């Protein structure tokens, strides 16, 4: 992992470029993309921006609905995998390197603005909300899927956080985006309506061991952390045990069947004034 004095955005980009994010997303959060697309009512002809798009979980589904889509992300190293997925599904979309806190788009230029488990990782939540609202046209829609501050997701972040360096001053934790009051405060009276619905999706793996191995080899933040701890076998071993303990504690699958991990998230649908 890179040194703390480096630019946080540069560090974040390098971290998310490690591993194999597309393989990770397909095995974990991929089923949530159609949920966000449907909740936003995305239809043919609309102009859609997916913020912190990763490899196109929402963006590709929006393109399949006939929308004109821009997939924006801080880490363009993942775009090739997204383009391959889009081609395999027979759709085209635009891929743009972009910071969720400084979107390079004109005011009111999109009918729908989305983000699934992406924009929540930007450090300044108000800035992200401001930017999503800025680029959304009046009466347009903003849709998000955000991990909630408790349950499986919270336990995973807690296990990982014990090994991470301190966040830069002013950084807000991603899971706050799953708190209803926090989201209401971010959008305030700038939206005409705000629907907040708790939903659950399930990540499945052939075994607990395979589930942990997926994270160790494909999830950029853990790949980065393991590289950082390579010279400290004791701490590296503690991280491995923490991941194993997490996987054992939250597996809800049958004793003789595949491992199953339910994750609660907040589905956010806002209509801009």
Contacts of 213 (CB under 8 A, 6+ apart): none
Checking DSSP bridges between strand 191-205 and strand 259-272, what pairing results, if any? antiparallel
Checking DSSP bridges between strand 136-147 and strand 259-272, what pairing results, if any? antiparallel
Let me know if residue 52 belongs to a domain: yes
At residue 5, the pLDDT reads 60
Let me know if residue 2 belongs to a domain: no
- SS3 category, 270: strand
At residue 1, the pLDDT reads 42
At residue 6, the pLDDT reads 78
CA 263/CA 147 separation, integer angstroms: 8
CA 125/CA 256 separation, integer angstroms: 42
pLDDT tens per residue across span 47-90? 999 999 999 999 999 999 999 999 999 999 999 999 999 999 99
Q: Which of 70, 75, 84 is nearest to 23 (CA)?
A: 84
Let me know if residue 22 belongs to a domain: yes
From first to last of its 273 residues, what are the pLDDT tens digits of the chain? 444 467 999 999 999 999 999 999 999 999 999 999 999 999 999 999 999 999 999 999 999 999 999 999 999 999 999 999 999 999 999 999 999 999 999 999 999 999 999 999 999 999 999 999 999 999 999 999 999 999 999 999 999 999 998 889 999 999 999 999 999 999 999 999 999 999 999 999 999 999 999 999 999 999 999 999 999 999 999 999 999 999 999 999 999 899 999 999 999 999 999
48: domain CATH number? 3.40.50.150
* Range of the structural domain that residue 34 is part of: 8-150+168-204+263-272
Q: How many domains does the chain have?
A: 1
Integer CA distances (angstroms), 76 to 4, 64, 111, in order: 22, 22, 24
- SS3 category, 164: coil
Burial class of residue 115, CB neighbours in 10 A (0-12, 13-18, 19+):
buried
DSSP-derived secondary structure for 208-226: HHHHHHHHHHH-HHHHHHH
Decide if 43 contacts 106 (C-beta within 8 A): no
- Start-to-end CA distance of the chain, whole Å, equals 42
Let me know if residue 46 belongs to a domain: yes
At residue 165, the pLDDT reads 87
Q: Give the pTM.
A: 0.96
CA 193/CA 141 separation, integer angstroms: 10
Let me know if residue 226 belongs to a domain: no
Let me know if residue 14 belongs to a domain: yes
Tell me 254's DSSP state: -
């Amino acid at each position: 992992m890179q040194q703390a004095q480096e630019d946080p955005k540069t560090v974040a980009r390098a971290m998310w470029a490690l591993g194999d994010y597309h393989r990770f997303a397909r095995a974990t959060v991929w089923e949530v993309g159609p949920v966000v697309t449907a909740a936003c009512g995305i239809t043919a002809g609309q102009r859609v921006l997916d913020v912190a798009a990763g490899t196109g979980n929402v963006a590709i589904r929006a393109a399949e609905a006939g929308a004109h889509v821009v997939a924006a992300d801080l880490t363009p190293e993942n775009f090739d995998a997204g383009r391959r997925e889009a081609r395999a599904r027979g759709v085209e979309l635009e891929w743009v390197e972009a910071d969720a806190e400084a979107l390079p788009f004109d005011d009111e230029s999109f009918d729908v603005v989305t983000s699934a488990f992406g924009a929540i990782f930007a450090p300044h939540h108000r800035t992200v909300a401001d930017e999503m609202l800025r680029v959304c046209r009046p009466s347009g829609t903003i849709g998000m899927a955000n991990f909630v501050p408790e349950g499986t997701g919270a336990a995973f972040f807690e296990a990982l956080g014990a090994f991470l360096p301190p966040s830069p001053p002013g950084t807000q934790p991603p899971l706050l985006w799953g708190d209803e009051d926090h989201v209401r405060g971010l959008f305030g009276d700038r939206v005409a309506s705000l629907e907040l619905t708790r939903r659950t999706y399930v990540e499945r793996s052939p075994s607990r061991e395979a589930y942990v191995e997926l994270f160790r080899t494909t999830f950029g933040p853990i790949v980065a952390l393991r590289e950082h701890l390579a010279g400290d076998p004791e701490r590296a071993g503690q991280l491995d045990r923490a991941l194993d303990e997490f996987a054992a504690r939250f597996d809800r699958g049958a004793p003789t069947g595949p491992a199953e991990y339910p994750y609660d998230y907040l589905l956010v649908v806002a209509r801009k004034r």
